[in-house]
Amino acid sequence: MDDALNIPRIAGLLADPARATMVWTLIDGTLRPAGELAFAANVSAQSASAHLAKLVAGGLLCSEAQGRHRYFRIASAEAAHLIESLASFGAAIHPRKPPHPPLVRAMPPQFLHARTCYDHLAGDMAVRVLQAMRDKAWLFDSGQDYQLTPLGHAQLAALGIVLDLSVKGRRPFARGCVDLTQRRPHLAGMLGAALLDHYVREAWVLRAPRSRVVSITPKGLAAFHQALGI
């Protein structure tokens, strides 16, 4: 099948405002019940069920049963990257104009500073981390992706982040994801996920329940400054 034929299929899935709201509600990587997604999209339970079935069949969401209830989440990192990239692109080509406030002014400072995007860090802090890794030659550009240098591998290992570079999968190892609010790339892919796992495990970053916003702890601020000068 011609890959180009997938474009209208995926576009059709996200063209409906209710379905777009549902997938955006799940962009934080959480697992949520159908009722909560119906409420977020302002549709009936019956309508939500039909929309969710289409999103699952289309490969954007997956579901799992827990007792009598069914829960939904983003199906993959690739799907999450697609969704946030479309949101960022849409905001860039159709920016809000007065009297409506700009997009970033409508968002709380904590959201702009640090949040999750599926399984990696986003926001101003994430953009600064990627830029510092490039400036310090831990990463180098390779098309739309990044490659880890021997120096970068050693520096990450010193922080306790050990990566098996021999593992090959469908997911990119390190890819730039244009940040929705900063308009500059943050780090996605396997490396982006590994970094966020490390930040949380080492208490550099604290997650908030049911929210994409994360807090950088005093320990994290000191660690980011020592490791990357930010």
Q: Per the structure block, which two tokens stand in for 11?
A: 């576009």
What's residue 203's pLDDT?
96
What's residue 103's pLDDT?
46
Comparing 11-15, 57-61, 209-213, the range with the smallest average pLDDT is: 209-213
User: Residue 77 — very low, low, confident or very high, per pLDDT cuts 50/70/90?
Assistant: confident
pLDDT mean across residues, the chain: 85
Query: What is the maximum span of the chain, computed from C-alpha positions, in angstroms?
Result: 54
Each residue's pLDDT tens digit, 110-145: 888 899 888 899 999 999 999 999 999 999 998 778
Q: Per the structure block, which two tokens stand in for 43?
A: 């549709």
Percent of all residues in the chain with a pLDDT value above 70, rounded to a whole number:
88
Question: Class of 3-75 per CATH?
Answer: mainly alpha
For the residues 194-223, what does the mean pLDDT come to? 92
Each residue's pLDDT tens digit, 189-204: 899 999 999 999 999 9
Residue 101 is given by DSSP the state: P
Hunting for tokens 């063209």 — which residue is that?
Answer: 15
Is residue 37 pLDDT above 70, yes or no?
A: yes
What's residue 204's pLDDT?
96
Residues of the chain with CATH 1.10.10.10: 3-75
User: Residue 107 — very low, low, confident or very high, per pLDDT cuts 50/70/90?
Assistant: low
What's residue 100's pLDDT?
43
What's residue 32's pLDDT?
87
Comparing 10-24, 36-50, 101-115, 174-188, the range with the smallest average pLDDT is: 101-115
| Residues 120 and 196 sit within 8 Å (Cβ to Cβ) | yes
User: Residue 98 — very low, low, confident or very high, per pLDDT cuts 50/70/90?
Assistant: very low
One-letter amino acid for residue 161 of the chain: I
| Residues 58 and 19 sit within 8 Å (Cβ to Cβ) | no
The more confidently predicted of residues 215 and 65 is 215
